[in-house]
Amino acid sequence: MTRSARRPRRPRRTPRTRRTLRVAGAGAAALLALSACSDSDSGSASDDGSGAGSGGSGELSGEVTVFAAASLTESFEKLGAQFEKKHPGTKVTFSFGGSDALAASITGGAPADVFASASPTTMDLVTDAGVAAGTPATFVRNQLEIATLPGNPDGITSLKDLTGSGLKVVLCDEAVPCGAAAQKALDAASLKLTPVSYEEDVKSALNKVVLKEADAAVVYETDVQAAGDKVEGVDFPESADAINDYPITLLKDAPNADAAEAFVELVQSAEGQKVLTGAGFLTP
């Protein structure tokens, strides 16, 4: 403004006029500078806020308690470690077990932030009790497989082979999703099987074979994969009739809702899905 005021051929201004213009020009410049700072601050604050919601900020803190189906143990422990690394100051605590027992604990008032179930049926126990926040979302699926002793010494090749006399077979309890799925597969094959024991969750059923207390167990593919060379897996076609959907939900009275929501987002993200499918889970 000052250089413009001194150009030739323009009407001569009084010193007072020039001083007024210089002051006005300085005021305008100051306003522009303040506006730029304000925009920068606003953008920075917005970035911080969105970062917290998307898992990109370190503002989350405290403990996140996750109740999850036993078959999610290895995958969720990996995701928990990733979450804690992304959000220093947070700690993810897991309670793994049979989905029915976990649902009963939640509806009984056990403090938890997130529930991940191995079937919609057991998730319904939580939603029907009104303790789920929103509608649960299916994040993976899982398929059954027969776990045998290493090397498959009994030559098991089908679900029907499990009905042979003298074979010690273990199933999950029918109240547990893996047990309900196994019964559904047996029904699809028109087979009747009397196991030597019914176990409270899929890890317990698998462990019977690992410890050589049973010859075979009907478990999930993911559990066979997690066990490595401790067992051998046998596919069977009827498993396609008993695939389980796994829903996850934030709980209504979550003690750490913000961090819990971020953990659920991680599970559903491409990064989370990579961990889960790498463990043998199927995409929804």
Torsion of CA 62, 65, 70, 71, to 10 degrees: -60
Contacts of 267 (CB under 8 A, 6+ apart): 76, 79, 116, 139, 248, 276
Give the Cα separation of 122 and 136 in Å (integer). Answer: 12
pLDDT value at residue 181: 97
pLDDT value at residue 226: 96
CATH architecture of 144-241: 3-Layer(aba) Sandwich (3.40)
Neighbour count for residue 24 (Cβ, 10 Å): 11
Region class of 280: left (phi > 0), else alpha (psi between -120 and 50), else beta? left
pLDDT value at residue 164: 87
pLDDT value at residue 241: 92
Residues in the chain predicted with pLDDT less than 70, given as ranges, are 1-58
Q: Which of 277, 283, 267 is nearest to 55 (CA)?
A: 267
Q: pLDDT per residue over 110-142, tens digit each?
A: 999 999 999 999 999 999 999 999 899 999 999
Give the Cα separation of 249 and 114 in Å (integer). Answer: 6
Q: What count of Cα atoms within 13 Å lies in the side-chain half-sphere of residue 94? A: 21
Sign (positive or negative) of CA dihedral 34, 38, 41, 44:
negative
pLDDT value at residue 39: 44
CATH architecture of 62-142+245-278: 3-Layer(aba) Sandwich (3.40)
pLDDT value at residue 165: 83
Q: Within its chain, how far is the Cα of 104 from the centroid?
A: 20
3-state SS assignment for residue 275: helix
Q: Do domains 62-142+245-278 and 144-241 have the same CATH topology?
A: yes
pLDDT value at residue 37: 38
- Domain residue ranges of the chain, discontinuous segments joined by +: 62-142+245-278, 144-241
Q: Which of 147, 172, 178, 175 is nearest to 72 (CA)?
A: 178
Contacts of 73 (CB under 8 A, 6+ apart): 94, 96, 203, 226
Q: Within its chain, how far is the Cα of 101 from the centroid?
A: 19
Give the Cα separation of 31 and 241 in Å (integer). Answer: 69
Give the Cα separation of 254 and 132 in Å (integer). Answer: 9
pLDDT value at residue 15: 37
